[in-house]
Structure 1
Amino acid sequence: MLSVRHRNLLREMRLPLVSMIVFAVVAGFTGAVLGSPEDGGDCASCHQSEQVLPAGHPPTAGMDLDGCLACHVDGTPLTLHSAMPLSHQHMLAGITCADCHGEEDVVAPAPMTTEQCLVCHGPLEALGALTADVQPTNPHMTPHGPTFAECDLCHQVHEPSQNFCADCHDFEFVVP
């Protein structure tokens, strides 16, 4: 059950959240059907002349990751870790859909497993070291066992990520 604070936050974020979900679904489906670009690395590789962000946002056509990071600084409310789906963050880093899902089925790829994530991001102990300073507790060193260490409990690649810990605990941290 969500706390009053979380319900209020969700209420405030409803329109931006729905917009991001719709964007992620449409962009994910379009990218899967059309195929991802050979080389990831900038928004224009998929979006070309489109303005895909909310009204008032600076133009993004042709913008690369450095352009995004000029405003979306880690440690601030505008961080890309909370504003952009992980699929887009991976693409901006030069990682294509096929790099994770393989070439076999780009239209309906199989879900990722924690083992697949750890090929690039692991081992889990190293992730725990990277997030050792996250308060009030380190999300990668859960005392609840391996079931609660599955990456996709928090990290959603094609939709907004969530703080799974907050379903039971009063923990606040940005989940990329």
Structure 2
Amino acid sequence: MRRILLPVFLIVSLFCLTYALMGNFTVEAAKQAEASCQSCHADFASVLPKGHSPVSGTSLASCVPCHQSDFEGKSEKNAFSTRMHLAHLPPKGAQDCEACHAWTAGKSFGLIGQKGSWGAPDKNDMDLMRTIFKSWAGSGYMDNLHATQGIGCAQCHGKGLPKADDTVENSRCLVCHGPLDKLAQKTEPKEFKDRNPHKSHLGSDIACTVCHKGHAESKVYCLECHKFDMKIKGAAQVK
């Protein structure tokens, strides 16, 4: 009799253990999917911009129907995305990406409780994103200068997650700052008009990124050969 009961007991125990573990995973997944802004913000209405329409929910699911993330190649500001990231990342905040984003290494990266994924970043990719967003949110570089004007990643880089070898073509810069002839008019010196960085003797094919660095210190390329009194924005150090 004992020989019969022991295997039955082991099978039942194994079944119960498996069910319990699956139940825990299901509960944790549900908690993540229903992650609420109120877990940090007790008065959710107080964090909404002045004049914002009333919001019935307290999770990201309440925001995305109105605030879409498709801003690729467009010059208009992405107020929602930049406001959210600047408020939660250093130096203003202290949150990690996973406070709002669901990440499975090498498989997916999206918003908690929302379908869809922007890519499949591994650990190295996530470390890179954290570094880039720290610079974007709190440096004095060009990325941060754009952030303070409501410009997010997609307006310059298009869709997709950041990559180590990302660059920006001149045509993308000129969507907001062009056309080139008008830009040259803005930067024409009162004296020594030939010292115009946007009307270079090197021609119009020189890349904007030769001088303007997104996530690093910008430098005036002209000064590699010339000794002009010429300054450039985005030359500050990361805070």
* TM-score bucket (shorter structure): 0.5 to 0.7
Q: Sort the Cα spacing of 1:99 and 1:168 in 2 relative to 1 into closer, same or farther, 3 A.
A: same
Relative contact order, higher structure (CA 8 A, sep 6+): 1
**What is the identity, as a one-letter code, of the residue corresponding to 1:124?**
L
- How far apart are 1:100 and its partner, in Å? 1.6
Structure 2: how far apart are the matches of 1:157 and 1:175? Answer: 13
When the two structures are superposed, what TM-score results if normalisation uses the length of structure 2? Answer: 0.40
Structure 1: how far apart are the matches of 2:210 and 2:216? Answer: 12
Q: Sort the Cα spacing of 1:45 and 1:132 in 2 relative to 1 into closer, same or farther, 3 A.
A: farther
Residue of structure 1 equivalent to 2:211: 154
- How far apart are 1:38 and its partner, in Å? 4.2
Residue of structure 1 equivalent to 2:197: 139
Match for residue 170 of structure 2 among 109, 114, 117: 114
Q: Sort the Cα spacing of 1:98 and 1:85 in 2 relative to 1 into closer, same or farther, 3 A.
A: same
SS of residue in 1 equivalent to 2:146: helix
Structure 2: how far apart are the matches of 1:134 and 1:90? Answer: 27
SS of residue in 2 equivalent to 1:141: coil
1:172 aligns with 2:229: yes
**What is the identity, as a one-letter code, of the residue corresponding to 1:46?**
L
**What is the identity, as a one-letter code, of the residue corresponding to 1:173?**
M
Higher mean C-alpha deviation, range 165-174 or range 136-145: 136-145
- How far apart are 1:40 and its partner, in Å? 1.9
Number of residue pairs matched?
108
Structure 1: how far apart are the matches of 2:226 and 2:161? Answer: 38
Aligned identity (percent) is 31
Question: Which consecutive unaligned segments of at least 5 residues does structure 2 have?
Answer: 1-77, 95-138, 234-239
Residue of structure 1 equivalent to 2:152: 96
Contact kept? 1:128, 1:140, Cα under 8 Å: yes
**What is the identity, as a one-letter code, of the residue corresponding to 2:140?**
M
Across the aligned residues of Structure 1 and Structure 2, the Cα RMSD in angstroms comes to 2.7
**What is the identity, as a one-letter code, of the residue corresponding to 2:226?**
H
Residue-by-residue CA offset, 1:63-114 (whole Å, 9 max, x unaligned): xxxxxxxxxxxxxxxxxxxx81010010110011122212223355731011
Match for residue 39 of structure 1 among 74, 78, 81: 81
- How far apart are 1:174 and its partner, in Å? 1.1
- How far apart are 1:115 and its partner, in Å? 1.0
SS of residue in 1 equivalent to 2:223: helix
Structure 2: how far apart are the matches of 1:117 and 1:90? Answer: 11
SS of residue in 2 equivalent to 1:115: helix
- How far apart are 1:133 and its partner, in Å? 2.2
Structure 1: how far apart are the matches of 2:143 and 2:203? Answer: 27
Q: Which is higher, the Rg of structure 1 or of structure 2? A: 2
SS of residue in 1 equivalent to 2:89: helix
Residue of structure 1 equivalent to 2:184: 128
Q: Sort the Cα spacing of 1:153 and 1:134 in 2 relative to 1 into closer, same or farther, 3 A.
A: farther
Structure 2: how far apart are the matches of 1:175 and 1:156? Answer: 11
